[in-house]
Amino acid sequence: MKYIKILSCAALMTGASFGSAFAGCGIESGRISILANDFPALHAVVSKAEECAGGAVTFAKNHTAKHQELQGPALTANPAEYTAKIVTNGSIVPLLTDGLLRPLDDLVAKHGQSLGKNQLITIDGKIMAVAFMANAQHLVVRQDILEKVGKPIPATYEEVLETAEAIRAAGIMKYPFAMLTKADWNLGEEVVNMYLGHGGEFFKPGTAEASVNNAKGVATLEMLKSLMEYSNPDFLTYNTGAVVPLWESGELAMAEIWGSSMGSLLDDEGSTPAVVSNTVPANAPTVGGGSNPASTLWWDGFSIAKNISDEDAEATFIALVNGVSAEMVKANNDKAVWLMDAYVPGKSAEGVSMVAAAGAEPYPMLPYMGLLHGAFVAEVPDFLQGNESAEQTLADIEAAYTASAKEKGFLK
């Protein structure tokens, strides 16, 4: 079966190269239309899936940063505007809550032999998505600077503070450290990471009541504040687009970044060879004596809309299985940390692999997690700017969360 598929894809390749309108991948007809975020790894997957178009198979795609805003209404309509949505463990949650996704068990059994067991996302025993890449935030360090101050690669955030102080004391850099602390989704993510690193629980077990106003919460905020002592005062504007160029210009010695940014740190554009050759990915540090790294694991995967015909669902599924085929991985090996067997991890993937191996938690797939994340974003900047105490901030977070959770019906 697997051979047949590879053969048919090969036939498609030759077919396409001779300019015929031969529909490949064994799909005869159907509508394929994919909504996805807008970055190179997803372009690779979707373009590969597009090879299945032709003949009676229509194909459309939409790569947009607004995918999260569009997905709800687009999949609610009947028939759904998009037959497939590329999701993450964050963006799949609202779709699950609204019941807009189709269980994939039958399709996986029929067409999914090439998919690995670890790729199948099951929810309540039903396969709801197929993951194909992983991502996580981890530390990256400048080997040469660490050697200058005689420090090893820090394994805990406490060591990060020590090392940063040593670098500052040695007069090498005033602000040697940076994290993605822009006062939007990024900062919320850092709070989530740090809180999980402390072994914290976001909610009272079995309920949707937030419980972050505790010793671990205080420790989380205090640690972030201490770290920001060693980060440029502009830290509340730092996102990937700001930190990566900073790193490339050699202004940082340690940074916490997304695994997917490693590629651009290690390429030869925008930086000097001295910086690039000393850029080393490291595990995300642990914090407060915890055993898990203070980072969350993310996956990207595809899921199929519920409000479409079986024929379209099948066509879309086959096309996307082709999209995540070994062939695609081989052609785009370094664009992401792929979950498929064909992937050969390079240096840029080391950080994410270490985070996963060290047992970091996946980002919580709870329907009300987004609300708490939003409350972090709204309230934590006040604390980091020294306007209020950690306890006050945590109380504000819980109050803001409660108000929005009531509106969404998660709390009475």
Partner 1 sequence: MTSSSKNNAPLLTWFATSMVVLWLLIAIGPFIWTVWGSFKVEGDFFSKADWRNAIYGVMTIVETGGSYTGNGYYGAWIEEEFWFNVFNTTVVVFFTVTISLTMGTLGGYALARSGFRYAFWLLILALIFRAMPHITLVSGYLLPFFEWNVWGKLSTTIVVLVAINQPFTLWMLHSFFLNIPKDMDESAMVDGCTRFQAFRHVIIPVMWPGVITTGLFSFLLAYNDFAITSMLLSSENQTMVPRIASFLGSVREQGNVMFAVAAVVSAIVPLFFLVLFFQRQIVSGLTAGAVKG
Partner 2 sequence: MLLFIALPIASVVVQSLFVQHEQVMIEVENCGPFKCETVIQADPDATAALRESAPLGKYNALKTYTNRNHLAFDELGDIWSTSETFFGFVGGVYNLPFYKALFFTLTYTFLVAPSVLILGLFIALGVNRLPELVKGPTIFASLLPMIVTPLIGSLILFWMVDADGIIGATLQLIFNNPDLSLKASAPLTWIMLIIYGIWHSTPFAFVVFYAGLQTVPSDTLEAAQIDGASRWQRVRFVIVPYMMPLAIFILLMQLMDGLRVFEPIVGFSASAKATSLSWIIFNDLFGNAKLYGSAAATSMLTIIFVCIILTPVLIRTWRDFNRKGI
Q: Which residues bind partner 2 (CB under 8 A)?
A: 68-69, 72, 89-91, 93-94, 96-99, 118-125, 131, 134, 182-185, 206, 208, 232-234, 236-237, 239, 297, 299, 339, 356, 360, 362, 364-367, 369-371, 373-374, 377-378, 381-382, 384-385, 388, 392, 396, 399-400, 402-404, 406-410, 412
Comparing CB distances to partner 2, the nearer of 39 and 185 is: 185
Binding residues among 171-190 for partner 1 as defined by CB under 8 A:
185-186
Q: Is 251 in the site for partner 1 (CB under 8 A)?
A: yes
Taking CB under 8 A as the criterion, the residue among 258, 317, 401, 410 binding partner 1 is 258
How far is the C-alpha of 82 from the C-alpha of 34, rounded, in Å?
A: 6
Check if the beta carbon of residue 39 is closer than 8 Å to that of residue 60. no
Comparing CB distances to partner 2, the nearer of 285 and 370 is: 370
Joined tokens for residue 305: 């809309």
Comparing CB distances to partner 1, the nearer of 69 and 147 is: 69
Q: Is 38 in the site for partner 1 (CB under 8 A)?
A: yes
Q: Is 404 in the site for partner 1 (CB under 8 A)?
A: no
Joined tokens for residue 386: 């020294």
206 contact, one of partner 1, partner 2, none, CB 5-8 Å limit per kind: partner 2
369 contact, one of partner 2, partner 1, none, CB 5-8 Å limit per kind: partner 2
Q: Is 78 in the site for partner 1 (CB under 8 A)?
A: yes
Joined tokens for residue 250: 């050699």
Comparing CB distances to partner 2, the nearer of 195 and 299 is: 299
**Smallest gap from residue 55 Cβ to partner 2 (A):** 34
SS (H, E, C) the chain: CHHHHHHHHHHHHHHHHCCCCCCCCCCCEEEEEEEECCCHHHHHHHHHHHCCCECEEEEEEEECCCHHHHHHHHHHCCCCCCCEEEEECCCHHHHHHCCCECCCHHHHHHHCCCCCHHHEEEECCEEEEEEEEEEEEEEEEEHHHHHHCCCCCCCEHHHHHHHHHHHHHCCCCCCCEECCCCCCHHHHHHHHHHHHHCCCCCECCCCCCECCCCHHHHHHHHHHHHHHCCCCHHHHHCCHHHHHHHHHCCCCCEEEEEHHHHHHHHCCCCCCHHHHHCEEEECCCECCCCCCCCCEEEEEEEEEECCCCHHHHHHHHHHHHHHCCHHHHHHCHHHCEECCCCCCCCHHHHHHHHHHHCCCEECCCCCCHHHHHHHHHHHHHHHHCCCCCHHHHHHHHHHHHHHHHHHHCCCC
Q: Which residues pair with 299 in a beta bridge?
A: 134
Comparing CB distances to partner 2, the nearer of 8 and 295 is: 295
**Smallest gap from residue 197 Cβ to partner 2 (A):** 16
Q: Is 37 in the site for partner 1 (CB under 8 A)?
A: yes
192 contact, one of partner 2, partner 1, none, CB 5-8 Å limit per kind: none
125 contact, one of partner 2, partner 1, none, CB 5-8 Å limit per kind: partner 2
Q: Is 306 in the site for partner 1 (CB under 8 A)?
A: no
Site string for partner 1, 220-239 (x = CB under 8 A): -------------------x
Comparing CB distances to partner 1, the nearer of 60 and 96 is: 60
Taking CB under 8 A as the criterion, the residue among 116, 233, 241, 409 binding partner 1 is 241
Instruction: Give residues in contact with partner 1 (CB under 8 A).
Output: 37-40, 60-66, 69-70, 73-74, 76-78, 80-81, 135, 185-186, 239-241, 244-246, 248-251, 258, 260-261, 264, 269-271
